[in-house]
Amino acid sequence: MANTRAQEIAEHLRKNILSGTYLPGSRLHEETLAEETGVSRTPIRAALRLMDAERLVNYFPNKGYVVREYSPDQIRAAYQTRAVLEGLACRQAVERGLSNSFKNSLKKCITEIDVMLKKGSLHKDNVLQWRHWNAQFHNQIIEASGNESLAAAINLVTRIPMVSNSIIVWSTFDVVANFHEHHRQIHDLLCRGLAGRAEFAMREHVEQGGDFIVSKLMEAESSG
């Protein structure tokens, strides 16, 4: 895993763009980044090109790179796209046949969150954990589909500056509990081999996630 500098820089940029350290619309100045990270412009430029291909920044030839901005409509559209893709992941995972180790591994994602929710509220410290097990749940299904193109497409579509990693919006307990029920249902449908129902349950799950995020963003926009 001894990567090249450019890849480390790419990881650095990805993280800071997704988390909002580099805000949407802000310019990414090559020399500044080079000084910040202690390398020359060469690997910086290589990393920036990757960010462009990953749709995290906009590239304007001879002008530079700007962190990509998403309107609420665009975010909604991205979630709708993700919804059909993750639905497909469920269907193909079933069609391919689920191993017992997969079923157990997926079950763990649910029981871990069970523990957190048992208290009736979600502690600040648990949010990171919740994000971990939530991501695990989704990623394991995607991997179980055995469809590389699908995985790549989902990656492309889910990484949105300042949204993907936004922690705050998920703090509403009721919503988290509701999504947790979705996961439980999806797990059940998968294990019972009900490919079609699992597909659409996942679709709806992701669509609701998108609805929630967009509504939260609109809220924040109008108030602050």
Partner DNA sequence: ATACTCTAAATTGTATACATTTTGGAATAG
Partner DNA sequence: CTATTCCAAAATGTATACAATTTAGAGTAT
**CB contact at 8 A, 70 and 161:** yes
46 binds DNA (CB under 7 A): yes
Report the residue from 15, 41, 119, 131 that binds DNA according to the rule CB under 7 A. 41
From the CB of residue 161, how many other CB atoms can be counted at a distance below 10 Å? 26
52 binds DNA (CB under 7 A): no
50 binds its own copies (CB under 8 A): yes
6 binds DNA (CB under 7 A): yes
Return the number of the residue (3 or 178) whose C-beta is nearest DNA. Answer: 3
Query: How far is CA 12 from its chain centroid?
Result: 17
Least Å from the CB of residue 43 to DNA: 4
Return the number of the residue (62 or 101) whose C-beta is nearest its own copies. Answer: 62
**CB contact at 8 A, 18 and 59:** no
Strands 27-28 vs 64-67: parallel, antiparallel or unpaired: antiparallel
Least Å from the CB of residue 42 to DNA: 4
**CB contact at 8 A, 59 and 65:** yes
C-alpha span between 186 and 200 (Å, rounded) = 9
Range 124-183, binding DNA (CB under 7 A): none
Tell me which residues touch DNA (CB under 7 A): 2, 4-6, 27-31, 39-43, 45-46, 61-65
